[in-house]
Amino acid sequence: MDLTEMEVKYWNEYLNSLPESDVLTDYCVEANPAGNLEITDALISLYLSGKKTAGSSLVEDFEITGDPLPKVGNYWIVLDGKNKPKLILKTVNVEIHKFKSVPEYVAIAEGEGDSSLEYWRKVHIEFFSPYLASWNIENIDESHIITEFFEVVWK
């Protein structure tokens, strides 16, 4: 858990808000912007409104970087476009699908655009395309998508 002083303070505010019966002793927390800095504030608005309850990444990205795959019970301090903590999300479900087989409910849970699967595929292809060669992905349809489903636990 490599958090800045500001992120640790924000996390501790959340922990101190919990009733004694809910005190966390075993957890994984990270702090990152939601997407790239150009879109992070828009995504934060979607999380706060309840429209966005999921986010997806390519499994191959985790494999190449050696980062652990997301798992239920993880926490994410979401940073805004100025790298300041704005909310904390808790992962409540994780699913893996082939890109070509991502179900419509994932697009709906991601809550972006018109929430259609067509829109979801378009923006994810655009987002991932610059990285595919470095991840040795020739056909994005055969790659694997990991989707985290979240709940906002602190704002």
Mean pLDDT on 90-99: 98
Higher pLDDT pick, 118 / 32? 118
Mean pLDDT of 80-92: 94
Residue 1 has pLDDT above 70, yes or no: no
b/e per residue 11-27 (b: at least 16 CB within 10 A): beebeeeeeeeeeeeee
Domain boundaries, the chain: 5-16+25-153
Q: What is the pTM of this model?
A: 0.89
User: Given phi > 0 = left and psi -120 to 50 = alpha, else beta, which region is 106?
Assistant: alpha
pLDDT of residue 68: 92
pLDDT of residue 23: 78
The percentage of residues in the chain with a pLDDT greater than 90, rounded to a whole number, is 76
Q: Is 32 exposed, middle or buried (0-12, 13-18, 19+ CB in 10 A)?
A: exposed
For residue 77, the model assigns a pLDDT of 95
In angstroms, the CA 53 to CA 30 distance is 18
What topology does CATH give the domain 5-16+25-153?
Sulfate adenylyltransferase (3.10.400)
17-71: per-residue pLDDT in tens? 998 878 787 788 888 887 777 788 889 999 999 999 999 999 999 999 999 999 9
**Which residue from 76, 96, 87, 95 is spatially nearest to 28, judged by alpha carbons?**
76
Beta pairing partners, 50 = none
Predicted local confidence at residue 32, as pLDDT: 84
pLDDT tens digit sequence for 146-155? 999 999 999 9
Q: Which amino acid is at 124?
A: H
